[in-house]
Structure 1
């Protein structure tokens, strides 16, 4: 059996990635990541037989808001292979989210994300990695880096009018998004949920061009439909993709869009009431069959999707109708 590396060995391995002026004796070797704020640039986190040099905290930009620093998520280098990795340390938070009158209790669960990483190993529409505990029994997720844009950034980067986008680009984007919905169906069939479905949680892999889900450490509780929160998230992403971005009431008012005269409360998104769900009133060329699907996520909906299978069935019917 190979002897474990000494702290001096680990520091020497880390030296190749640090400035020559860096004092190697000051490199901290960390085996307990409980206080993730203290895990910083130039530290080495040791997990089992592997060592990871911390580079910086990950950031997350949300829908035009400045990047938020995620202090519990670290970009790192695997000192054995030199490959970049992402370390997700343990961070607990919880909040209540509302969809119309329906309340969902949401909370972070490292254990749940660890289960899903094992479940989706090799699945092309998810991020990959594994979970391991540090010396304090914190469940750390070691993730492969996916190179590529989020779907959010990809769609908003297009310099096209909506009609050209809808007819020329949206069909391919929808095909890929349907694969994402099927991936969520895979989770649901195995009794798991994504928990935080957003368009910035789908990365387009630069190498494979696959759309891949990331960040599934959120869980939620709801008695009526355990998969309901995921379904509302899928609906929000679909409306964003069909609209080539969010269609916002303030923007419509600013541009004095004539469609404002026809919009009613029932046409708005049930989750985010400043967004329009009834896109056909804005873009009349959107087929009724697609618009009907999106209206299931509006304030005027009289029933909601209860499974990914129902949503996929309707999207399949839409695609066959055009």
Structure 2
């Protein structure tokens, strides 16, 4: 098969140098067998595989073998292919145990729903010869929002007063994008910091990765709402603040705070959400939003609409500082 791939490269990408021509795959079921130099054929379109994408969390990189960085050979442009991969796992948040699973069909539906909406990543879905729903994605040229925030060189007071108001306003827009999904009876399913990107050219906030789904009968959209809250806590604090990290960083204002068990997150129990106890200039209206995601909360947000009402009021309070 190497000669076939070599001829394809010569014909479609004559200026491209390929050190190891591989095989042509029309069936992507066994995605672990597909590697650098192989070609995936979807209909009449050819995609040259360059590498596996990586999952980067907690300082660790894990290969995502079902997600391939490729080059669309007919146009010589980069793309990402997400091949069909199923998994499921439980998640516990407060009193709720949630069944989470991966659904390629659900992501395909959302890609159709948000086509042309720049608040979301863009792409199309093609079936391989075995009927696998392969999602062909445009690459978002940008950087994760949390990385952008982390790299702002300012102490927290300066960050909060000079940078955070605009960040919060744009984040409210990102939350409105999730409300759009919910209004169409769809969930993002995996809302976390590394799935919200800031585009280089426009500065727009854009959501990526929609293939997780979940079952939470008490509140069908609840996990998305908790995810939005977790991102907000990070943005307000300019970090996820834990007492161990505070000690290592010498953050005296954290160490001197009179924190109680109910001041911590209901989602990840060692993260502080009652940030007003650490930074007393955080308006009460904003801290009240954060406290809905604390282990001590008796009332959780049931919808993005409820969250947006309080966040909009909080933005006005932040702007008045």
TM-score (norm 2): 0.93
CA distance in 2, matches of 1:73, 1:112: 16
Q: Residue 15 of structure 1: CA displacement? A: 5.5
Q: Is the 8 A contact 2:12 2:74 kept in 1?
A: no
Alignment of 1:62-101 (within 5 A): 62=57, 64-101=58-95
Distance 1:224 1:148 in 2: 36
Deviations 1:218-268 (A, max 9, x none): 000011100000000000000000000111121234437354451000000
What residue is the counterpart of 2:296 in the other structure? 300
Separation (CA, whole Å) in 1 of partners of 2:200 and 2:253: 40
C-alpha contact (below 8 Å) 1:14/1:53 kept by paired residues:
no
Which deviates more, 152-161 or 114-123? Answer: 152-161
Number of positions where the alignment pairs a residue of Structure 1 with one of Structure 2: 313
Runs of 4+ in structure 1 off by over 4 angstroms are 6-9, 258-261
Name the SS of the counterpart of 2:314 in structure 1.
Answer: helix
Give the drift of 1:124. Answer: 1.4
Aligned partner (choices 306, 313, 316) of residue 310 of structure 1: 306
Which residue, 161, 173, 195 being the options, matches 2:189?
195
Mark the CA change 1:7 to 1:256 in structure 2 (over 3 Å): closer, same or farther: closer
For 1:48-67, list aligned pairs within 5 A: 48-62=43-57, 64-67=58-61
Q: CA deviation at 1:60?
A: 2.3
Matched, 1:130 2:119: no
Q: 1:16 aligns with which of 14, 17, 29?
A: 14
Q: Give the 3-state SS of the residue equivalent to 1:197 in structure 2.
A: coil
Distance 1:310 1:223 in 2: 19
**1:106 and 2:100 matched:** yes
Q: What is aligned with 2:35?
A: 40
In the TM superposition, residue 208 of structure 1 has moved relative to its aligned partner by 1.8
Structure 1 portions without partners, runs of 5+: 1-5
SS of 2:142's equivalent? coil
CA distance in 2, matches of 1:161, 1:179: 26
Aligned to 1:3: none
Aligned match for 1:155, one of 143, 149, 157: 149
Alignment deviations for residues 160-201 of structure 1 (CA, whole Å, 9 cap, x no partner):
100000001111111111111000000000000000000110
Q: CA deviation at 1:18?
A: 4.6
1-structure distance, mates of 2:198, 2:218: 33
TM-superposition CA deviations, 1:82-123 (whole Å, max 9, x none): 110000001111100111121110000000000000000011
The aligned counterpart of 2:204 is: 210
> 1:239 matched to which residue of 2?
233
Uncovered stretches (5+) of structure 2, i.e. residues with no partner: none
- Provide the secondary structure at the position in 2 that maps to 1:170: helix
8 Å Cα contact 1:13/1:79 also seen in 2: no
Tell which deviates more after alignment, 309-318 or 258-267: 258-267
Equivalent pair of 2:91/2:100 in contact (CA under 8 Å): yes
Q: TM-score, normalised by structure 1?
A: 0.93
Q: How does 1:2-13 map to 2 (within 5 A)?
A: 10-13=8-11
Task: Please tell me whether the aligned partners of residues 11 and 27 of structure 1 are also in contact (alpha carbons under 8 angstroms).
Answer: no
Contact kept, 8 Å, 2:9 with 2:16, in 1: the verdict is no
What SS does the aligned partner of 1:318 have? helix
2:203 & 2:251 partners in 1: Cα distance? 38
Distance 2:300 2:286 in 1: 15
